[in-house]
Amino acid sequence: MAEVTYTGGPLPVAAKGRNSVGWLGVLCLIATEACLFAYLLFSYFYIAIQRGPGWSPEPNPSLAMAGPNTLILLASSVAAWWGEGGAKGGQRTRQLLGLSLAILLGAIFLIVQVFEWKAKTFRPTDGSYGSLYFTITGFHMAHVVVGLAMLIAVTGWSWLGLFQPRRHEPVSNVVVYWHFVDAVWLAVFATFYLAPHLMW
């Protein structure tokens, strides 16, 4: 059997950056999830306007836990961005530290959020407010869990040395999703913790 030697130049590789399938997939995921949270938050404001003052069991929500917890989640986003910069620049230590710190801060956010739930004087079955509060924050917590799982995966692959400056798209895609999760929390925080102080 004769052998054939290919001399036609380099073989094509998968698209990278904003032309990659992974990037487009993350954008589609973010778009659909953004619609979900937009519908849920619209429901909150619609019912709040219809019911008027007094519909919430906590007209002046405390910021004692939610405020610092918001800063923790934002810090995790900064850490993830810093780690992504390490992946792009071939700085493996920075990459691992940034992603690991993002995971740690995200886990702390989840723990504080559970304590926040337990501190509430109402439950999901206590009227429309309780139902909306636990549904929306619960959906967000689920997205945080998914984001943490993705961060853990790319951090593990980073430990194995699978990413280089020319091949860092999985890290960037996960970090973009994590930024989205943080941005959603800002909307949730503004809705449940800031808006009540301004609306009534």
Q: Where are the chain's structural domains?
A: 19-49+65-199
- Pairwise CA distance, residues 186 & 180, whole Å: 10
Identity at 61, one-letter amino acid code: P
Query: What global pTM score does this model have?
Result: 0.87
- pLDDT value of position 16: 64
Name the CATH topology of 19-49+65-199: Four Helix Bundle (Hemerythrin (Met), subunit A) (1.20.120)
C-alpha of 137 from chain center: 13
Work out the end-to-end distance of the chain between its first and last CA atoms, rounded to an integer number of angstroms.
84
Total length of the chain: 200
- pLDDT value of position 10: 63
Q: How many CA atoms lie within 13 A of 112 on its CB side?
A: 18
Low-confidence spans in the chain with pLDDT less than 50? none
